């Protein structure tokens, strides 16, 4: 058959297929027109390369269809729409003409029917139908109408053609189908296609399912989040998120090691995931706040000018020459080698002697922040090292809290009352303190609450203590001791006049002229209203006067000035509070005055001894420590050994009990320094000889009657002087200590040095 040939671009027409397409190439239009003139038949085939404008024989696939042109419609722009129906598969054998349009020799060649039995064909048909059904199930685009029209087809050949027409496939695939010569090949091609597409469709469905689930989940979460936001807003908690963002910003800006920043960030994220109001969120919040508030790498600039430091120490404190000197030396060494971790200063002395305030001055002199960590009564290791965060209400320890309060990592930290830390079942406080003070360990101090290492090596530690002997030994070894003595009355007078009174006046808003206190009145306050080693009470009394004066000035507007004198002192402070034990009225048997040193300063002790018929027991009352009790025993043994000299029968001690009592048991006393006093008391009671009333004594006694030196001499002599005693017995070995004391203390005292009990006895008894 010779027929006009139309080359199609990306389009394959199959037998029985009806479709329309637009044409606008000149040759194609000519071909169609020519065909319309004749039998309206045309050969349609696809060109191999769709971009080819004027295809020749070699550009065309040789298999195509013979088609009937059903309709030709003219469109604008030299375009025609053609409606065609495929008739049968055919092969282009060759071109007979190329101009004005293609014309070729066409051989109709239906696919060769293979020799199948009817049964086989039916089986193939049914298989195809089945596969097609499962394919349609996975491919929603494969419409129901297509399925229905396919289901009714009865012959295999028609089914193959129709399936290929409706199958969603590429033109090339359709062309391949056209190329196939036999039904069998067409069958297996479609079977493969169906199975492959079904599988793909299945996987596609699975994918879509998953994607949908995921999207639904996201959608759901989004909805829930939005709802939470609305609920929070209703509850007035809307700013949780913005607060978390703020925390994160702060973490970023923190001047701290990376691990700290990371921890803050991590905890903040945890906080975000918790519901507001959950107990844990409060705990985390506190923790984050603590981390953010610690100084980490924040340092203040130190002032290493020693002259400046000296000026400030003198400005703030009267006297204390030795202490100031020691402190300045210490600061000088620090200034020379800032990295060398010197020992830690420990200021030891009675209360109110300016330990805390001189430490404060040191901080001021160095330009350091000052924090006071009070250790008095700390028995739990966790107070120093913090509680683990698992405990409810856990907190950082006092050291970390101190740093937080200071706000810099190099403050001066005053460890106040370091002698009062105790150790019990809740852990070893002193070893925790050791870790704080040890330069080897405190670079990475671990607080249980903070859980991150803190660098304490830049902190300047100063400790204070009242009683050095109560400081745990290992701690004491770390520290350089500076003893702060009690003040003499004269020193108190100057401190009161030049420092405390101006300070109190300022604090109470009084100007210089509004209040004045005469020197005599001040001395009277010191002597009759206070009884202390330091000046704390004195400061309080002066504050009392200032307050009263301020009130009087306000109440009486006529009054411009207030003068406090000896005469009107009682108007301000009431009756005199302190009466010193007057010197024993008269010489007495078994009553001896001793001198004691306690953690609050010196004191006089009136020791009383009584003997009574009994069985040789010794009884001690009045808050005595163990050392003091042993010292009484030693004294008794010595007295027994010399009893014969005083014509006391040795059986005397088996038939009598001895009772030693020290009145004023409020302050516990200990130590051996009352040894000679108690021994003298016992001898007096046994021999019934009177002891001199105007005499006080201090010294340790040995079994053989030697007198050993004692400590705290300055305090003891001050106490004796205040009590109006003039004659004092002091161990001979203490003579150098007495030489060191200022004249103010020793003036008016008659000091006798003794080295043996015999000398004591000689001095103590009223008559020979
Ligand atoms: P401590 O810490 O030894 O118990 P404080 O430092 O609290 O004693 O001193 C009590 C008060 O006495 C403070 O107001 C302090 O300024 C003042 N003070 C102590 N000693 C002196 C001194 N030498 N010069 C001036 N004021 C002093």
Hey, where are the domains in the chain? 2-108, 237-293, 306-310+323-474, 489-573, 588-764
489-573 adopts what CATH topology? Helicase, Ruva Protein; domain 3 (1.10.8)
496: nearest Cα among 319, 624, 642: 319
Q: Which of 535, 538, 601 to mutate to test the pocket of ligand 1 (most atoms within 8 A of CB)?
A: 535
Lowest mean pLDDT of 291-300, 388-397, 412-421, 725-734, name the range. 388-397
Query: 536 in ligand 1 pocket by Cβ < 6 Å?
Result: yes
Instruction: Provide the sign of the torsion angle of the four alpha carbons 23, 28, 32, 37, taken in this order.
Output: positive
Instruction: Provide the sign of the torsion angle of the four alpha carbons 733, 734, 740, 745, taken in this order.
Output: negative
Asked if 355 and 316 count as a contact pair (C-beta separation under 8 A), the reply is no
**Tokens standing for residue 515:** 């209040």
Instruction: Measure the CA angle with vertex 692, ends 644 and 603; round to 5°.
Output: 110
**Per-residue pLDDT at 164 exceeds 90:** no
**Tokens standing for residue 499:** 């420092």
pTM over 0.85: no
Q: How confident is the model at residue 730 (pLDDT cuts 50, 70, 90)?
A: very high
**Per-residue pLDDT at 683 exceeds 90:** yes
DSSP assignment of 398-437 equals: HHHHHHHHH-SSS-EEEEETGGG---BTTB-HHHHHHHHH
* Cα–ligand 1 centroid distance for 536 (angstroms): 7
Classified as helix, coil or strand, 588 is strand
Take atom 17 of ligand 1 and give the residue whose Cα is closest: 354
DSSP H or E run through 712? none
Stretch 90-119: mean pLDDT = 84
Stretch 304-319: mean pLDDT = 90
Place of tokens 């003997």: 611
Q: Which pLDDT tens digit goes with each residue over 88-100?
A: 889 998 889 888 8
pLDDT of residue 238: 60
| Distance (Å, whole) CA 678 – CA 461 | 42
Higher pLDDT, 483 or 669: 483
Q: Which pLDDT tens digit goes with each residue over 52-66?
A: 888 888 889 989 999
Q: Which letter, b or e, does each residue of 688-709 get, where b requires 16 or more Cβ atoms within 10 Å of its Cβ?
A: ebbbbbebbbbbbbbeebbbbb
Q: Which pLDDT tens digit goes with each residue over 510-569?
A: 888 899 999 999 999 988 888 888 899 999 999 999 999 999 999 988 888 899 999 999
**Per-residue pLDDT at 372 exceeds 90:** yes
| Distance (Å, whole) CA 312 – CA 366 | 10
Closest atom of ligand 1 to 498 CA is 25
| Distance (Å, whole) CA 465 – CA 471 | 8
CATH number of 306-310+323-474: 3.40.50.300
Q: Which pLDDT tens digit goes with each residue over 558-602?
A: 888 899 999 999 998 988 877 665 556 688 888 999 988 877 778
CA torsion 243-245-246-250 (nearest 10°) is: 140
CATH classification for the domain delimited by 2-108, as one of 2.40.50.100, 2.30.130.40, 3.40.50.300, 1.10.579.10: 2.30.130.40
Take atom 26 of ligand 1 and give the residue whose Cα is closest: 317
Stretch 67-87: mean pLDDT = 90
**Tokens standing for residue 481:** 């001791």
Stretch 748-763: mean pLDDT = 92
CATH number of 588-764: 3.30.230.10
Catalytic residues: 673, 716
Beta-carbon contacts of residue 372 (< 8 Å; ≥ 6 apart)? 356, 402, 413, 414, 416
Beta-carbon contacts of residue 272 (< 8 Å; ≥ 6 apart)? 241, 244
Q: How confident is the model at residue 679 (pLDDT cuts 50, 70, 90)?
A: very high
pLDDT of residue 665: 56
Asked if 256 and 453 count as a contact pair (C-beta separation under 8 A), the reply is no
**Tokens standing for residue 742:** 């200022």
| Distance (Å, whole) CA 385 – CA 363 | 24
**Per-residue pLDDT at 114 exceeds 90:** no
Query: 681 in ligand 1 pocket by Cβ < 6 Å?
Result: no
DSSP state of 121: H
Whole-number percent of the chain with pLDDT over 90: 33
Q: Is 376 left (phi over 0), alpha (psi -120 to 50) or beta?
A: beta
Q: Which pLDDT tens digit goes with each residue over 386-418?
A: 888 888 788 899 999 999 999 999 899 999 999
Query: 493 in ligand 1 pocket by Cβ < 6 Å?
Result: no
* Cα–ligand 1 centroid distance for 504 (angstroms): 13
**Mutual orientation of helices 398-406 and 279-293 as an angle, nearest 10°?**
60
Take atom 5 of ligand 1 and give the residue whose Cα is closest: 354
* Cα–ligand 1 centroid distance for 352 (angstroms): 5
**Per-residue pLDDT at 152 exceeds 90:** no
Take atom 24 of ligand 1 and give the residue whose Cα is closest: 317
Q: Which of 496, 526, 534 to mutate to test the pocket of ligand 1 (most atoms within 8 A of CB)?
A: 534
**Tokens standing for residue 462:** 């100063």
């Amino acid at each position: 058959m010779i027929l006009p040939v139309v080359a199609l671009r990306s389009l394959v027409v199959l037998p029985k297929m009806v479709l329309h397409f637009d044409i606008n190439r000149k040759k194609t239009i000519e071909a169609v027109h020519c065909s319309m003139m004749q039998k309206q038949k045309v050969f349609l085939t696809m060109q191999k390369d769709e971009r080819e404008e004027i295809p020749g024989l070699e550009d065309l696939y040789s298999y195509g269809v013979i088609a009937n042109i059903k309709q030709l419609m003219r469109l604008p722009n030299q375009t025609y729409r053609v409606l065609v129906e495929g008739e049968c598969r055919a092969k282009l054998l060759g071109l007979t003409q190329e101009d004005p349009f293609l014309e070729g020799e066409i051989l109709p060649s239906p696919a060769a029917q293979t020799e199948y039995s009817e049964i086989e064909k039916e089986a193939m048909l049914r298989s195809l139908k089945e596969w097609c059904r499962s394919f349609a199930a996975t491919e929603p685009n494969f419409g129901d109408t297509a399925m229905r029209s396919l289901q009714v087809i009865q012959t295999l050949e028609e089914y193959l053609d129709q399936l290929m027409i409706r199958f969603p496939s590429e033109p090339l695939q359709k062309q391949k189908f056209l190329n196939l010569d036999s039904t069998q090949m067409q069958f297996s091609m479609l079977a493969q296609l169906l199975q492959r597409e079904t599988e793909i469709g299945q996987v596609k469905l699975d994918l879509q399912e998953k994607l949908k689930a995921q999207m639904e989940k996201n959608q759901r979460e989004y909805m829930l989040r939005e709802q939470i936001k609305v609920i929070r807003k209703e509850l007035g908690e809307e700013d949780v998120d913005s607060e978390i963002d703020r925390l994160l910003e702060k973490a970023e800006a923190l001047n701290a090691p990376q691990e700290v920043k990371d921890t803050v960030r991590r905890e903040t994220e945890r906080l975000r995931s918790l519901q507001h109001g959950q107990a844990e969120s409060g705990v985390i919040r506190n923790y984050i706040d603590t981390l953010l508030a610690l100084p980490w790498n924040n340092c203040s600039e130190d002032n290493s000018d020693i002259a400046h430091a000296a000026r400030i120490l003198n400005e703030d404190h009267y006297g204390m020459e030795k202490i100031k000197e020691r402190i300045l030396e210490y600061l000088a060494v620090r200034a020379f080698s800032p990295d060398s971790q010197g020992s830690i200063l420990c200021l030891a002395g009675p209360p109110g002697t300016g330990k805390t305030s001189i430490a404060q001055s040191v901080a001021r002199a160095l330009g350091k922040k000052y924090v006071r960590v009070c250790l008095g009564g700390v028995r739990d290791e966790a107070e120093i090292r913090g509680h683990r965060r698992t405990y409810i209400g856990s907190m950082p320890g006092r050291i970390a809290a101190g740093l937080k309060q200071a706000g810099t990592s190099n403050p001066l930290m005053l460890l106040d009352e370091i002698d009062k830390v105790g150790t019990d079942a809740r852990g070893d406080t002193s070893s925790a303190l050791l870790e704080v003070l040890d330069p080897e360990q405190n670079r990475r101090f671990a607080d249980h609450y903070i859980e991150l290492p803190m660098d304490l090596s830049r902190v300047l530690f100063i400790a204070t203590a009242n009683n050095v002997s109560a400081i745990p030994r290992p701690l004491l070894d770390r520290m350089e001791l500076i003893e702060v003595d009690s003040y003499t009355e004269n020193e108190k007078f100057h401190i009161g006049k030049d420092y405390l009174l101006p300070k109190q006046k300022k604090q109470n808003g009084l100007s210089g002229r509004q209040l004045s206190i005469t020197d005599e009145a001040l001395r009277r306050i010191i002597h009759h209203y206070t009884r202390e080693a330091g000046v704390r009470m004195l400061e309080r009394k002066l504050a009392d006067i200032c307050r009263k004066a301020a009130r009087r000035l306000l109440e009486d507007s006529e009054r411009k000035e207030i003068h406090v004198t000896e005469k009107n002192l009682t108007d301000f402070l009431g009756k005199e509070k302190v009466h010193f034990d007057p010197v024993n009225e008269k010489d007495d048997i078994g009553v001896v005055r001793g001198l004691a040193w306690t953690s609050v300063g010196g004191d006089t002790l009136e020791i009383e001894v009584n003997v009574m018929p009994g069985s040789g027991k010794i009884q001690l009352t009045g808050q005595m420590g163990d050392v003091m009790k042993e010292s009484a025993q030693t004294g008794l043994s010595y007295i027994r050994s010399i009893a014969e000299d005083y014509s006391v029968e040795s059986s005397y001690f088996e038939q009598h009990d001895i009772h030693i009592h020290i009145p004023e048991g409020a302050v516990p006393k200990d130590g051996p320094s009352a040894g000679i006093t108690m021994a003298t008391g016992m001898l007096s009671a046994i021999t019934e000889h009177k002891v001199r009333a105007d005499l006080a004594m201090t010294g340790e006694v040995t079994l053989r009657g030697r007198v050993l030196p004692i400590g705290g001499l300055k305090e003891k002599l001050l106490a004796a002087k205040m009590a109006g005693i003039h004659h004092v017995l002091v161990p001979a070995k203490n003579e150098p200590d007495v030489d060191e004391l200022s004249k103010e203390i020793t003036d008016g005292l008659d000091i006798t040095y003794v080295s043996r009990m015999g000398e004591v006895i000689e001095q103590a008894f009223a008559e020979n």
